[in-house]
Amino acid sequence: MKKIKILIPVYNDWQSVFKLMENINLEVSNLESEFSIIIVNDASTESRSEISLKLDNLKNIKIINMKEKRGHARCIASGLKYILEKEEFDYVIPMDGDGEDRPEEINKLVGKLKEYPDKVIVGERVKRSESSFFKVCYFIHKIITYTFTGQLIKFGNYTCLPKFIVEKMIKEKATWNSFSGSLAKVVKNKVAIASERGTRYFGPSKMSFKNLIIHSLAIISVFKINVLARSILFILVYMFLIYQNISAIMLIPIPLVVLLIVLVFSVSKRENLNELNNSLDNILNIDTTK
């Protein structure tokens, strides 16, 4: 029987996580695998009540409490490192803890493993539940990412990773900065399932516009050399058009491209293999609730 760890980062959203665990327990009841949950608590300031749910279909539940808040991506990176070093497992499924990664799709992820046991399974978004403004921003993000990196990244954290891929992710410094960007860099051939973005169980989204920009830049920064090369080519083509007596107003995008390069290289400095290697030093304690 395959051992699957579901990795959930959380910060001050315990009500959603408890509901998510309850739904996961229902969804995995008929799946022929052993499921456990690893929660990485990113130094939440919100108090947590005791887990009193009946979760018979889950082998065990661990809550890793961190000393200092590091952010969503770094919680996933730390969780992957912990699972690799401390747990027996065959696959890891990282997913958000607020309900936006729908537990109903776990059976689709696991089902694909029967056909592709050694492949990464990703949930490609076919439908989103956010506001129109967020959808427009996400579309712009995809266009910019593809234009300047050559990567069409249509998946987020919600994936199913074989053990050998987890090992590769832990050796890649970009994992400390962006999960999906790092996975796109490490794994070229992935198998996709159609995935709908669910709605949050409780409260408004914690993704501010500023955090959305940083998240986008973090993904793009994984491919910063591509960004630099394509930007230089873009500028050269633009300058050639100007030389051919195209209106000077065409120069306006060049400062924006330069700004993108500066921001991308700045955000890429957050990649840090040493911090990833030492990330388990940030663990305060571990609660085993089952």
pLDDT tens digits, one per residue of 105-135: 999 999 999 899 999 999 987 765 556 766 6
Residue 253 maps to a domain = no
- pTM for this entry: 0.90
- The percent of residues above 90 in pLDDT, for the chain, comes to 68
Q: Is the pLDDT of residue 210 over 80?
A: no
- Please indicate, yes or no, if residue 24 is contained in any of the structural domains: yes
Average pLDDT score over the chain: 90
Averaged pLDDT, 172-193: 95
Within a domain: residue 229? Answer: no
Lowest mean pLDDT among 39-43, 87-91, 179-183, 285-289: 285-289
What pLDDT was estimated at residue 167?
98
Enclosing domain of residue 119: 2-223+266-281
CA distance 167 to 157: 17
Tell whether 243 is covered by a domain: no
The CATH number assigned to the domain holding 137 equals 3.90.550.10
Within-domain flag for 212: yes
How many domains does the chain divide into?
1
Between the alpha carbon of residue 214 and those of residues 92, 178, 208, 270, the distances in Å are: 26, 10, 10, 11
Q: Which SS3 state, helix, strand or coil, does residue 237 take? A: helix
Question: Do the domain assignments include residue 93?
Answer: yes
Q: Burial level of 204, CB count in 10 A (0-12/13-18/19+)?
A: exposed
In a domain, 288, yes or no: no
Q: Would you say 93 and 27 are in contact if contact means Cβ atoms under 8 Å apart?
A: no
Question: What was the pLDDT predicted at 206?
Answer: 67
**Domain assignment present for 176:** yes
